[in-house]
Amino acid sequence: MLYRREGSDRRDYTTMSDDLIRVILADDHSVVRAGLKAVIGAAKDMHVVGEASSGPEAVALAERLKPHVVIMDLSIGEVDGGQATKMLIEKGIPSKVLILTMHPEEEYLVPMLEVGASGFLPKTVPDRELLDAVRTVARGEVYVRAEAARILAKGYQRKDPMHEDRTRYEKLTERERDVLRLTAQGYSAPEIGERLFISPKTVDTYKQRIQDKLGLSHRHEYVQFALRLGLLHA
């Protein structure tokens, strides 16, 4: 059932299921929202619970509906997606924000993650990648495209490695260090295998060893660890 407040583009939809990933769409173009709603509506594990055409509307809607994910346009109005994301965090709203925009990652990826967004995607990504990103941020993880890992390296590189991380890093074998570095750079297991002349299954074995030694499971954790040690270079 659809509920619409008169005089506003803000919309919310009631639902009988609590098992699905609840999503709010925040974009000032109704055509874009309609397209996103169709994509998400075709997925069996998520649904749209509300729509907003401005940053403040998105914040108000998220505060009331508590969605798992807010898909936020960066250029949504006078209060842009970054400002709206910051407002969500300041209000203690637990929803995760996935920035979806036409702006280049090179310029906006790092600033958006710094204000608290959980992911950043260009609007040109395939539908499947968008759905994967929604699932990732809904789990509380950060979604970063493989191509964007190198941009993160430029934005977050630190000159002074932390002593504790360095001590843990020194426990890795040379091959484990290679797998860690390449994973942080955004390469997949098959791509790493090609570079190191080993099978993807062997790459996964090295990743398991890295997890056992360092506690790293996801790509963004690899990126953060490598950046702290200055292992990634532009």
The string of pLDDT tens digits covering residues 8-47 is 444 444 444 568 999 999 999 999 999 999 999 999 999 9
C-alpha–C-alpha distance, residues 234 and 227, integer Å: 11
| pLDDT tens profile 193-223 | 999 999 999 999 999 999 999 999 887 888 8
Residue 149 has a pLDDT of 65
C-alpha–C-alpha distance, residues 97 and 83, integer Å: 12
Residue 6 has a pLDDT of 32
pTM above 0.75, yes or no: no
Residues of the chain with CATH 3.40.50.2300: 2-143
Residue 228 has pLDDT above 90, yes or no: no
Which is more confident, 113 or 132? 132
10 Å Cβ neighbour count for 191? 16
- How far CA 211 is from CA of 169, 172, 182, 222, in Å, comes to 12, 11, 15, 10
Question: Residue 182: helix, strand or coil by DSSP?
Answer: helix
Residue 57 has a pLDDT of 96
Residue 14 has a pLDDT of 43
Residue 53 has pLDDT above 90, yes or no: yes
CA 173 from centroid of its chain's CA atoms: 30
Output the six-digit token pair for 196. 């190191």
Do 33 and 25 touch, CB atoms closer than 8 A?
Answer: yes
Residue 106 has a pLDDT of 67
| pLDDT tens profile 142-171 | 887 877 766 666 655 544 446 778 888 989
Pairing of strands 2-4, 21-26: unpaired
Residues of the chain with CATH 1.10.10.10: 159-228
C-alpha–C-alpha distance, residues 64 and 58, integer Å: 10
C-alpha–C-alpha distance, residues 216 and 224, integer Å: 10
Residue 176 has pLDDT above 80, yes or no: yes
Residue 217 has a pLDDT of 85
- Please state which of the four CATH numbers 3.40.50.2300, 3.90.1150.10, 3.30.930.10, 3.30.70.141 is assigned to the domain occupying 2-143: 3.40.50.2300
Residue 154 has a pLDDT of 60
Residue 119 has pLDDT above 60, yes or no: yes
Tell me the residue ranges of DSSP E strands in 38-86: 46-52, 69-73
Residue length, the chain? 234
Residue 114 has a pLDDT of 80
CATH 2.40.170.20 is the classification of domain 159-228:
no
| pLDDT tens profile 55-65 | 999 999 999 99
Output the six-digit token pair for 142. 């950060």
State what percent of residues in the chain have pLDDT above 90.
53
Do 71 and 50 touch, CB atoms closer than 8 A?
Answer: no
Residue 151 has a pLDDT of 64
